[in-house]
Structures are given as C-alpha cells and as structure tokens.
C-alpha cells in the first residue's frame, strides 16, 4: 500500500475515571468502556470510519492515548466528552491534547 493511500492519523491523550471516587479502571475495563460508548453513539459504520484504537493506557493513573482518523478528530473528541456513565456508575473521559505523533501526545 502506498503512503498516499493510507489514512492520516491523530493521537488524542485522555484521562479516564470511573466509579464513585472516579478511580482509574483497569486496562480491560477501559477498553470496553471506550468501545461500548463509541458504539452506542456512532454504531458499527461510524466506528469503522473513525478508525479509533486504544494505543496506550496506564491503569494506575487512568491516562492513555487513542488513535483516530485525522478527518474525524472533532467527532472523536466530542464523543469522548459525552461519556457520563458506564454500567450504572459515574464515568468521565476527558480529552487532554491532540497530536500528530504518539511521542508528543
């Protein structure tokens, strides 16, 4: 595949907290929280066009990096900001910064 045919990526750093004290969830819980939330908002087709992926997540601090398509960054950030609960618990997914490389995010 030629480089011109690949999609351009952007990396969004975020902070995730869930539960009554907004403690950091485990990596597997974080993956399911993010994936279920994006699916509920965009559906299967929307999620595939976002091309999002959880690149890195630290279970101790609750911070991580999410990759998405450059054309859909605003929609991804909007979706992240809309998360308010998960399985009856309070949850918060706060976007922190956006970058074109993992190192800067």
87-101, pLDDT tens digit by residue?
A: 888 889 999 999 988
Residue 23: CB partners within 8 Å, gap ≥ 6? Answer: 17, 62
Q: Give me the pLDDT at residue 12, please.
A: 95
Enumerate domains of the chain plus CATH numbers.
Answer: 7-99 (3.30.70.3250)
- Print pLDDT tens along the chain (105 aa): 787 777 889 999 999 988 777 788 889 988 998 999 999 998 998 888 888 899 999 989 999 999 999 999 999 999 999 988 888 888 899 999 999 888 887
Q: What's 73-92 look like in SS3?
A: HHHHHHHHHHCCEECCEEEE
pTM score: 0.87
Token digits for 20? 């009554």
């Amino acid at each position: 595949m030629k480089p011109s045919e690949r999609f351009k990526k952007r990396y969004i750093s975020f902070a995730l907290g869930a539960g009554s004290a907004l403690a950091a969830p485990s990596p597997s819980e974080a993956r399911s929280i993010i994936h279920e939330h994006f699916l509920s908002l965009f559906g299967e087709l929307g999620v595939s066009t976002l091309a999002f992926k959880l690149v890195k997540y630290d279970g101790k601090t609750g911070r991580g990096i999410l990759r998405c398509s450059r054309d859909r960054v605003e929609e991804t950030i909007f979706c992240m900001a809309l998360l308010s609960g998960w399985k009856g618990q309070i949850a918060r997914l706060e976007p922190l910064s956006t970058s074109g490389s993992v190192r800067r995010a």
